[in-house]
Amino acid sequence: MRRLLLSVVIGSCLGAAIVTPASAAVPLKAVRYGAYTVRVPTNWPVFKLASDPSVCVRFDRHAVYLGRPSSQQRCPAHAVGRTEAILVEPLAAAAAHSDATRSAAAVVLPAARSSTARGSIGELIVPARGVVVTATWASDPETIERALGVRSIPAEPSGIAAASPDGALAAPRHGARVAGGSRRGLRADDVDAGGLGFDTCSTPSTTAMSAWLQASPFRAAAIYIGGANSACAQTNLTASWVSTESAAGWQLIPVYVGLQAPTSSCGCAEINPAEASTEGIAAAADAVTQAEALGIDAGNPIYYDMEAYAQTAVSTSAVLAFLSAWTTQLNAYGYTSGVYGSASSGMTDLVDALGTSFVEPDDIWIADWNDEAIATDPYVPAGDWLNGQRLHQYLGGHIDNYGGVKLDIDSDYLDGPTATAGTGTGTVGAAALPDGTFVSYEGKVYRLAGGAPLYVHSWSVFGAIQPTVTLAAAQWKALNPVPANGTFIRATTTGTVYRIAGGAPVRVPSWSAFGGPQPTVIVDRWDIQNISNPAAHLSPVPIGGTIVEGLPSGLYWLFSSGMRAPTAASPTAVSVADTGLASFLESPTARASLSGVAKLKPRLRVTVTAGANAPELKAFVVELPTGLTFSRSAARLAEGIVAWGANGKPLEAAVKPSRGRLAITLGIAVKHVLITNASPAIVASKALAAEVRAGAATALEVIVDVSDAKHDTAVLTLNPRPS
């Protein structure tokens, strides 16, 4: 039984950064690399990379790394966060593995003091000594400045960047913007449903990728493209690497490890709750810059790595504001937004925020190590992010060996978008299949309308066999479950035109209400005749929550449980013809008034009217608010409650009271009924009366339930009036 309230007016952390306070008194040691010297705390380990190529260059631990990082370094599956660390490598070697052209002279940029305490990375080029120095820091930039002998650190963008003087962020190279954001379409480069991927902290070499492509079950690999908390050096990750591996057949998952939640368990640089939206915009802009530098252009997804955190009101609010801005800005640049997060924190907060002002990401990456290689997860309802929009990290760090190459990885199940070199096919520049395209999947043929596949039962209604596009599983799952709101379709043979609202076709008797003929997709009449068949991909009635505007009346209606009820104007309403709307049942309505509470003699009046085209009323329940009860005497109650018909005459009614609930069953079904009571059928408590007299109680709620199955337990739209 559905209920409606009537107001009655009465008058996973995957890696940890180590952070230590700055201390000028810490004893130092000199570490030389050729003609260059750095002075670091004596307890910092020194790794000579030429002597041990397997050393992983990580910036989440205090250390000095000397030499060029090896393409064969062995890194953990994940490391997150940054602290004070230094990498010194030969200038020639650094230039050789970089796609960027390096300056011939050292350039020292002013340190961004607003961000140094939050974690950053900088680069110092020293041509006279033939080295390039990469330094990271968290809470102690002075240690790095002292070690390098500079007054300030040349900081690179890390997603903490402030706005330009005019308040606007600098646009990435392409600056491809889409009015109104981007939406998912068909992706030719999506991994098929059931595909497997892996992620590891440092990008593997092309040799390792080749061996795994031939011997492993994986076809997708995560790459860490940047961010304030990206911990591992990415020696192999260049535009050339991206182009080579994309051409080889690898799907890529770009990951950006930026600022983390204020209550993050990884000890990382954190989001400032007061600046969360601004920081989310900056992170998106920097992520796009990093992606473009690697040749991953608009149309591809970028996933934000939000590690596990303790859920508090402040932290959750900061995370949602940050990620909302991240998604909005990424979409504005033409990229698809993804979010990686722990099932029990990040994903839970995303799910809880659905239906609010929060701008949800296009795709999610669920971190839940349950060893189940499936897209479903108990933390995310099946109806959320269901159209090929999920990745699942189902197994944490472990070592796999394929083709003689060992990698420490996390394992992922993919039923969502991935990236390739160049322009992706999900947003800007997308080769999305247009409405009207005939597609085939698993031996059946459909025609696209409003992004949804409507079944083609017979080619005869289209004159002859038509060209079709065969879809992969991921492409099929990316389609809409029903046509988009506002889509016009025309049934074959009959020629009847409909407009889609909440998945349901609403008849359009003429084009006059819409300013003339509109673009229309011709679909098989079978879909209209068999509208409840899943293959039709239509709904018999608008999905609950759909709001429509009737034309030309201008009245707004909200659909619930298959019935419509008057509602307030809404900018999201779908315009439909009044005549077409008339075929959908109108919900019953009710009005109520309550008087005499303060005098301990409550009088109740409830009118219930069946909706247009709806069955007549037979049974319903009235429930009183707290402080009001029905008389204990059944006999007196039966005498006190009276049902009146539209003609003003009493109706036969069975009245059954139960703890403030009044079940009423009429002797005959009617379209309109009025319920009244004669004192003392309803009794008000002295406490409630005192509150009313004192003005403390200003509103009460009466609940009216329609229990007759013929009304589909429709929720009443109640219009209260003061007594």
pLDDT tens, 202-234? Answer: 999 999 999 998 888 898 999 999 998 988 888
Mean pLDDT check: name the lowest of 220-224, 267-271, 324-328, 590-594.
Answer: 590-594
Q: In what order do the strands lie in the sheet with 603-609?
A: 650-651, 641-644, 672-677, 603-609, 589-595, 717-718
Choose between 671 and 659: higher pLDDT.
671
Q: Looking at 186-275, list the stretches that DSSP marks H as alpha helix, in order from N- to C-terminal side.
A: 206-215, 239-248
Return the half-sphere exposure (C-beta side, CA atoms, 13 A cut-off) of residue 63: 21
What pLDDT sits at residue 151?
A: 61
Q: Which amino acid is at 600?
A: L
What pLDDT sits at residue 119?
A: 55
**Residue 629 phi, psi dihedral angles, 5° rounding:** -135, 160
What pLDDT sits at residue 426?
A: 33
Going 709 to 711 to 712 to 715, the CA torsion angle's sign is: negative
Q: CA 580, 583, 588: angle at the middle one, nearest 5?
A: 125
Going through 61-130 in order, the beta strands assigned E by DSSP cover: 64-66, 85-90, 120-126
Question: Which residue, among 444, 449, 513, has the nearest Cα to 483 in the 3D structure?
Answer: 449
What pLDDT sits at residue 634?
A: 59
Mean pLDDT (whole number) for 170-176: 43
What pLDDT sits at residue 618?
A: 82
Residue 698 has pLDDT above 70, yes or no: no
639 burial via Cβ count (<10 Å: 0-12, 13-18, 19+) = middle
Choose between 718 and 457: higher pLDDT.
457
Share of the chain above pLDDT 90, in %: 38
Q: What is the pLDDT of residues 51-67, one digit of tens each?
A: 898 898 988 889 999 99
What pLDDT sits at residue 712?
A: 39
What pLDDT sits at residue 425?
A: 42
**Residue 581 phi, psi dihedral angles, 5° rounding:** -70, -25
What pLDDT sits at residue 171?
A: 44
What pLDDT sits at residue 565?
A: 83
Choose between 58 and 600: higher pLDDT.
58
What pLDDT sits at residue 692?
A: 77
Mean pLDDT check: name the lowest of 326-335, 435-444, 479-488, 615-624.
Answer: 615-624
The answer to whether the beta carbons of residues 201 and 224 sit under 8 Å apart is: yes
Q: What is the pLDDT of residues 90-142, one digit of tens each?
A: 987 555 555 433 333 333 333 333 333 345 788 888 888 888 898 888 878 88
Residue 523 bridge partners (DSSP): 491
Residue 522 has pLDDT above 60, yes or no: yes
Residue 9 bridge partners (DSSP): 699
For residue 287, give the H/E element and its range.
helix 276-293
Which residues have C-beta within 8 Å of that of residue 512, sequence separation ≥ 6? none
Local structure of 536: helix, strand or coil: helix
Band of pLDDT at residue 706, cut at 50, 70 and 90: low
Band of pLDDT at residue 332, cut at 50, 70 and 90: confident
What pLDDT sits at residue 447?
A: 94
Residue 593 has pLDDT above 90, yes or no: no
Band of pLDDT at residue 388, cut at 50, 70 and 90: confident
What pLDDT sits at residue 467?
A: 79
What pLDDT sits at residue 152?
A: 57
What pLDDT sits at residue 637?
A: 65
Going 462 to 463 to 464 to 466, the CA torsion angle's sign is: negative
Residue 576 has pLDDT above 50, yes or no: yes
What pLDDT sits at residue 409?
A: 93
**What is the chain's mean pLDDT, rounded?**
79
Which residues have C-beta within 8 Å of that of residue 559, sequence separation ≥ 6? 502, 541, 542, 543, 544, 545, 546, 547, 548, 584
Q: Which amino acid is at 295?
A: G
Q: Which of 191-205, 294-308, 431-445 ranks highest by mean pLDDT?
A: 294-308
Q: What is the pLDDT of residues 243-262, one digit of tens each?
A: 999 888 898 999 999 999 99
Residue 180 has pLDDT above 70, yes or no: no
Residue 16 has pLDDT above 80, yes or no: no
Choose between 181 and 590: higher pLDDT.
590
Band of pLDDT at residue 573, cut at 50, 70 and 90: very high
Choose between 677 and 94: higher pLDDT.
677
Choose between 567 and 604: higher pLDDT.
567
Share of the chain above pLDDT 70, in %: 79
What pLDDT sits at residue 217?
A: 87
Q: What is the pLDDT of residues 633-668, one digit of tens each?
A: 656 666 678 888 888 888 888 888 776 777 888 888
Residue 710 has pLDDT above 70, yes or no: no
Residue 304 has pLDDT above 70, yes or no: yes
What pLDDT sits at residue 697?
A: 58
Mean pLDDT check: name the lowest of 19-23, 315-319, 516-520, 532-536.
Answer: 19-23
What pLDDT sits at residue 97?
A: 53
Residue 2 has pLDDT above 70, yes or no: no
What pLDDT sits at residue 720?
A: 35
pTM higher than 0.95: no
